[in-house]
Structure 1
Amino acid sequence: MHSVPSDIRLRRKSGILELCYSDGVKYELPAEFLRVYSPSAEVRGHGAGQAVLQTGKKQVQLSGVEAIGNYAIKLIFDDGHDSGIYTWEYLYDLGAHFEAYWQDYLERLHQAGASRDPDVSAVKFME
């Protein structure tokens, strides 16, 4: 299957999860991106339209990767989040559409008046 990586590397210093595929395709996904697109119920919600915008995750790092059978990995983040199961198909999709997904995330943050920085909280004043 094309979406199954032939090699997975966690580059702790740069916070990058590197996915290599047998056809030469390689994706480098930052920890923050993987955290805000976690497939967990905490992030996605329990139904359509219930996703929770993740804010303040700019400095989050990956602290571990665990295999889940032959179909997925569990990523462990240093903010305590570890409930997302990233299937091979989902990881491939994140890699293939990284730019579009990242821009969508930045736009949703902007619309919410939120920040990637954990030390910044936006307050909107009514006129």
Structure 2
Amino acid sequence: MIPTNVVVHQQSKVLELSYENGNTFRLPFEFLRVVSPSAEVQGHGPGQETLQTGKREVLIANIEPVGHYALKPSFSDGHDSGLYSWDYLQFLCENQEALWKEHLDKLAAAGLDRDAPMSAAGGKSCGSH
């Protein structure tokens, strides 16, 4: 389902998506950044995800449509390789609470805080560890 309206709220740091059925969802920039569908965040296979931290203050510097199927936000931390398809955005809207809890649980399991700086390595290599 394609949103009928997309609004970037810089002050409250949320992306607002409105749908034809009257539903409106507000996805925080931090949430969008830590669940980015990019290979940089998701890795190239199960278990290769890079846990994102220190993104509470991230902003969306720019957002552009990609064809008729996705949005490509450019975040203030330089991350701009995530293509958020309409289906993925709808999935995020419908599962926001569970996905955020999962992120916080992963942080806790790793002994990390939301505001911890990303490690210098940043998990950029896709080779063997």
Q: What is the TM-score with the length of structure 2 in the denominator?
A: 0.88
Q: CA–CA distance in 2 between the matches of 1:42 and 1:120?
A: 13
Structure 2 match to 1:60: 58
Q: How does 1:1-127 map to 2 (within 5 A)?
A: 3-118=1-116
Q: CA–CA distance in 2 between the matches of 1:120 and 1:80?
A: 13
Structure 2 residue runs without a partner (length 5+):
120-129
Q: What is the TM-score with the length of structure 1 in the denominator?
A: 0.89
- Pick the structure with greater CA Rg: 1
Q: CA–CA distance in 2 between the matches of 1:120 and 1:69?
A: 32
Q: CA–CA distance in 2 between the matches of 1:25 and 1:67?
A: 21
Structure 2 match to 1:124: none
SS in structure 2 opposite 1:97? helix
CA contact under 8 A between 1:64 and 1:77: conserved in structure 2? yes
Deviation at 1:53, TM superposition (A): 0.7
Q: CA–CA distance in 1 between the matches of 2:114 and 2:59?
A: 13
Q: CA–CA distance in 2 between the matches of 1:94 and 1:117?
A: 22
Give the letter aligned to residue 6 of structure 1: T
CA contact under 8 A between 1:58 and 1:118: conserved in structure 2? no
